[in-house]
Amino acid sequence: MRIRKLLALIISMPLFAVPWQAAAQVLPETKVIEEVEEFASPGVRGMGKPRGVVISYERLPGFDIDSESDDPRVGNGSGRVKRHNKFSVRALAPVINKPQTKLIVGFNYELEEFNFENLTPMSYDLYRYLEDKNLKSIGVQAAYLHSLNQRNFYLIRVKGELNGDYTRDNINISDYLKGTIDLAYGWKKTPDYSIGVGLQWGYTFGRQRVYPGILYNRTFNPKWGVESIFPANARVRYNANEKTLFYAGYRLEGASYDIFADETVLKQFGEIELRRTDIKGLLRMEREIYDFLWFAVEGGFRQYYRHRIFDEVGSSDELITNDLSGAGYVGVELYLVPPRRFTEKNR
């Protein structure tokens, strides 16, 4: 099923959020619950509300693509992507939600789709294979956040995902399974200032390896703040009021998909791997619709840094190197947060 044909999901039960900052390497696309107890946490005053369920859609309009391969059986190609779509649903819920200790479990479903212009049976094999192909990611995770005292906290997260071109009727878990482990330790300097360091073993930038991260969350006054996990992301926050927030910054993104390009010349290589890394410069607005229901609009410029096909999973031997032109993008989100009466009850 194509992304544009997916029906909107109706979510009726708001969930609590995972304790780490938004769009972060350690716990992606989540927010923190602002603690009123004396235990340390990564969150600072002024950050957006915690999210439980998030539905998002993103589109990039047309851009050029050039592909090169040193293998004469594959050859070179060029074309134009008419649109690049991304759709995702994420949900998080607390299993343990105590002031000092939180255990969060989560689920995510994501897919990407490329549509090319003027494809024919003679077009480049990779483009013909990717046309309308849903590259999927289905994952589950568990995150454990523990506050040691008023100033120190640590976090452990384990995540497993199935990433690739599988279908419901044709899936072998061992072919598509990818794991991620995150470790982080932080210091809550003041209610407006948290810092931390961490490591991730995963696929944030395409290839599985260890990536470092530095957390820096700081609110300077009731209107302005910074949220970042360097080098993965950084953004300046402006609190217009309690119902409207604006952001400006950047975010690095990556993915790895295992694919079997049947009915193309690539079939002879069996299971191959697509890895991508890109950077986004972004502007974002988040706005309350009604109490527990919020929406966000985001736009900016997306530059592909690396987009490559490897001859086997985990290999360092590039089969195809793709050069994708940068393009503007726009994304929308609809998400649930804890009702206001819930947060007021816990103050």
Instruction: Name the least confident of 46-55, 132-141, 162-171, 281-290.
Output: 162-171
pLDDT higher than threshold 50 for residue 19: no
* CA-closest candidate to residue 319, choices 70, 101, 28: 70
The secondary structure of residue 167, as a DSSP letter, is: B
Residue that wins the pLDDT comparison between 104 and 343: 104
- Which amino acid is located at 55 in the chain? I
User: Residue 220: CB partners within 8 Å, gap ≥ 6?
Assistant: 192, 226
Q: What is the mean pLDDT of residues 295-301?
A: 97
Letter string b/e over residues 99-109, b meaning 16 or more CB atoms within 10 A of that residue's CB: ebebbbbbebe
- Greatest extent of the chain over all pairs of C-alpha atoms, in Å: 67
pLDDT at residue 206, rounded to an integer: 59
Instruction: Name the least confident of 35-39, 104-108, 237-241.
Output: 35-39
Q: What is the mean pLDDT of residues 197-220?
A: 86
Instruction: Name the least confident of 47-51, 153-157, 172-176, 222-226.
Output: 172-176
pLDDT at residue 347, rounded to an integer: 52
pTM for the predicted model, two decimal places: 0.85
Angle at 203 between CA 173 and CA 325, to 5 degrees: 110
pLDDT at residue 175, rounded to an integer: 82
pLDDT higher than threshold 80 for residue 10: no
pLDDT higher than threshold 50 for residue 97: yes
- Cα separation, 129 vs 204, whole angstroms: 24
Instruction: Name the least confident of 25-29, 75-79, 87-91, 252-256.
Output: 25-29
- Cα separation, 21 vs 93, whole angstroms: 16
User: Residue 11: CB partners within 8 Å, gap ≥ 6?
Assistant: 53, 55, 91, 336
Instruction: Name the least confident of 19-23, 297-301, 334-338.
Output: 19-23
What tens digit of pLDDT does each residue of 250-287 get? 999 988 899 998 888 999 999 999 999 999 999 999 99
pLDDT at residue 8, rounded to an integer: 31
- How are beta strands 327-336 and 101-116 bridged, if at all? unpaired
The first and second tokens of residue 172, run together, are 């072998």
pLDDT at residue 3, rounded to an integer: 43
Q: What is the mean pLDDT of residues 161-181?
A: 85
Is residue 21 within 8 A of residue 32, CB to CB? The reply is: yes
Q: Which residues pair with 40 in a beta bridge?
A: none
- Cα separation, 324 vs 64, whole angstroms: 6
pLDDT higher than threshold 60 for residue 332: yes
pLDDT band at 344 (very low <50, low <70, confident <90, very high): low
Percent of the chain with pLDDT over 70: 86
Q: Integer distance in angstroms from the first to the last C-alpha of the chain?
A: 45
Q: What is the mean pLDDT of residues 100-123?
A: 94
- Cα separation, 101 vs 239, whole angstroms: 29
- Sorted by where each begins, the domain ranges of the chain are 3-345
